[in-house]
Structures are given as C-alpha cells and as structure tokens.
C-alpha cells in the first residue's frame, strides 16, 4: 500500500532529537475493537476522525484484525486481483474499493492492523514524513522481537530479508486528521496473498513474524511492541492503553 501524495510540507521540528514540540503533552489512546469487518471498521474510523477533528478525543490508535478481505486503494489496479470475484466469494474473501492511498492488499486473521486517528497539526503536516514515521514504528516493533526491519526506497512498507512483513496505506482528510494505516503480518496465513499482486509489486515475497521466528506470534503478542514503538516515535507523554502493559 502506498500513500496519498501532496505537495504541502511543514517543518517546525523541536530541538530534541527532531521530535515535534508539544507532542509530549499529548495522550495516545489505544483501542482494541477485536476482529471486525472491513466496512464497520471504515464507519468507526469515520466517526473517530470527526470526533478528533472537533477535539472530542485524543489521538487514537485502533489495533484490530479483519476477516479475509482484499482492498483496492486509490491507485489500485483491478488486474492485481488475480482471482475472479465469484471465486473470492466462494473462498469467503470480501473485496472493497477504499479511500486510502496505494494499490491492492490483503487483510485477514493473524494480521495486526493499525489505524492511527491522529491530528498532524500544527507541526507534522507532511505526508511523506508521516509515512516514514509509521515505517519507523514498525521497524522499532520488529526490533522488540530481534528482527531487523528495513525500508525499501522504491516502495512504502517494511521488509525483512527482502520479504515484506508490513504494508502501509494512509488517508489524511481535511484538518490533517489521519486514518487507515498499517498491516503487520504476525501469524497471517500467507497463502492468501497468492490472490493478489501485493501492493502492485510483482515478484516480491511476503512474510510474517511467525515465519521469520519459526514460532507462533499472535497479533495480541505483537500489539504491545507496536504501542510502545508508536509512543516512542511520536513522543507521546502518556498512553491510555486498556491492555495496561503500555500505560504510563
């Protein structure tokens, strides 16, 4: 998945290691809707985006799983879905066109999906930098498992040993409020990716944390590392995490 691009940039970095001034006064609220259908998740995001725009809620990170679904982003190519719609339906795989940036991707059980609903104002209004920050979050989280995540200059996402372990596709609406986000393969059944050309990248492998470590790592087991990495990368002063492990 790739981003929606924009020419607008903004700076105003803090002196402390490049972090933005004021983010240490913010709270990141982490919420766990569980396994939720793609359409209800879109509706939930839309509600939270409006509430964040009105200042009714803090920055919020949704961590969840989806049932089997293939999504096409704003630059998606229908030809990158390799199985006919009737066969997808027979296999129980939904298909949606969606408002995020990028091409085609798969979501399903065993994958940790993160939807950050953040207000990038006043000093993070830079979509490319936001993408790099999400990549940094995922690289930090993989590091907690002893894995060396990498960027690929030709494609958005995170890779280990040349195989893609996390995809990113975002949307930023009016008021610089983010939605959509990232998908980290924890114990994903990777054969489902055979139904697509992942993110439009021909000939590129996908992998999961479980495959890389040769042991089971569930989305729930990966979530604390993601939350900690999100708090560190963006410099939040506190985390409202009902899981408790990441509260501070």
Question: pLDDT value at position 247?
Answer: 42
Question: pLDDT value at position 10?
Answer: 34
Question: pLDDT value at position 154?
Answer: 82
Alpha helices in the chain (DSSP H): 38-53, 85-90, 127-143, 209-213, 219-234
Q: What is the largest CA-CA distance in the chain?
A: 55
Question: pLDDT value at position 1?
Answer: 38
What's the average pLDDT block by block, 10 residues per block, for the chain (248 residues)?
34 44 94 96 97 98 95 67 81 81 83 98 96 98 98 91 94 95 96 71 81 97 97 97 61
Is the pTM higher than 0.85? yes
Cα 209 to Cα 140, 189, 222, 245, distances in angstroms: 13, 11, 9, 21
Task: For 153-227, list the strands marked E by DSSP.
Answer: 155-160, 163-173, 177-185
Where are the domains positioned within the chain?
A: 23-234
Cα 237 to Cα 9, 168, 244, distances in angstroms: 25, 25, 16
CA distance 128 to 108: 27
Annotated catalytic residue: which of 57, 104, 139, 199? 199
CA distance 161 to 29: 33
**Is residue 77 among the annotated active site residues?**
no
Cα 247 to Cα 108, 153, 236, distances in angstroms: 28, 34, 11
Does the 23-234 domain belong in CATH 3.30.930.10?
yes
Around 149, how many Cα atoms within 13 Å sit in the side-chain half-sphere? 26
Question: pLDDT value at position 75?
Answer: 59
């Amino acid at each position: 998945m790739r981003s929606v691009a924009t020419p607008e940039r903004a700076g105003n970095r803090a002196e402390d290691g490049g972090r933005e001034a004021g983010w240490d006064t913010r709270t990141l609220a982490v919420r766990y809707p569980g396994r939720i259908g793609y359409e209800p998740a879109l509706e939930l995001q839309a509600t939270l985006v409006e509430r964040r725009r009105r200042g009714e809620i803090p920055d919020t990170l949704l961590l969840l799983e989806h049932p089997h679904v293939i999504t096409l982003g704003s630059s998606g190519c229908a030809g990158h879905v390799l199985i006919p719609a009737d066969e997808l339906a027979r296999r129980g795989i939904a298909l949606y066109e969606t408002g995020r940036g990028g091409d085609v991707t798969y979501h399903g059980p065993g994958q940790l999906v993160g939807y950050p609903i953040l207000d990038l104002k006043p000093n993070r209004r830079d979509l490319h930098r936001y993408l790099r920050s999400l990549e940094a979050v995922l690289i930090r989280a993989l590091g907690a498992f002893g894995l060396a995540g990498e960027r690929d200059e030709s494609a958005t996402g995170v890779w280990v040993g040349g195989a893609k372990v996390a995809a990113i596709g975002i949307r930023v609406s009016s008021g610089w409020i983010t939605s959509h986000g990232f998908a980290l393969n924890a114990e994903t059944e990777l054969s489902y990716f055979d139904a697509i050309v992942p993110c439009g990248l021909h000939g590129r492998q996908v992998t999961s944390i479980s495959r890389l470590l040769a042991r089971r790592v569930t989305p729930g087991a990966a979530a604390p590392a993601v939350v900690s990495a999100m708090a560190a990368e963006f410099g939040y002063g506190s985390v409202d995490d009902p899981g408790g492990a990441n509260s501070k």
